Amino acid sequence: MTAPASSIRPRIGAGFRLQWEPAQDCHVLLYPEGMVKLNGSAGEIMVRCDGERSIDAIVVELETAFNASGLAPEVLSFVEIAGKQRWLIWE
């Protein structure tokens, strides 16, 4: 898999479910018989991956929400990793 373009609109992969778990105090990704606990930034990225927003749009949102800049490389690299794990898919 090549690095994703920033125009893609990722969504949660088939068979995975993202939800907030109060008992874990974090977002988790559930899949057949397993669970991945997401750290804060991974959780913030994943909740925005709804198949509607592009990576560009997600970066803008995150930079606004967290009063930060230059987040694009981090978001892209997370999306690439998540794609390899099939947590995220896109056209």
For residue 5, the 8-state DSSP code is: P
One residue of 3, 5, 7, 24 binding another protein per CB under 8 A: 24
Q: Would you say 51 and 11 are in contact if contact means Cβ atoms under 8 Å apart?
A: yes
Rounded-to-integer distance, Cα 35 and Cα 26, Å: 12
> Which residue, 17 or 65, is less far from another protein as judged by CB?
17
For residue 51, the 8-state DSSP code is: S
Q: Determine if 14 is a binding residue for another protein (CB under 8 A).
A: yes
Q: Determine if 69 is a binding residue for another protein (CB under 8 A).
A: no
Binding site for another protein (CB under 8 A): 14-15, 17, 19, 21-24, 28, 30-35, 86
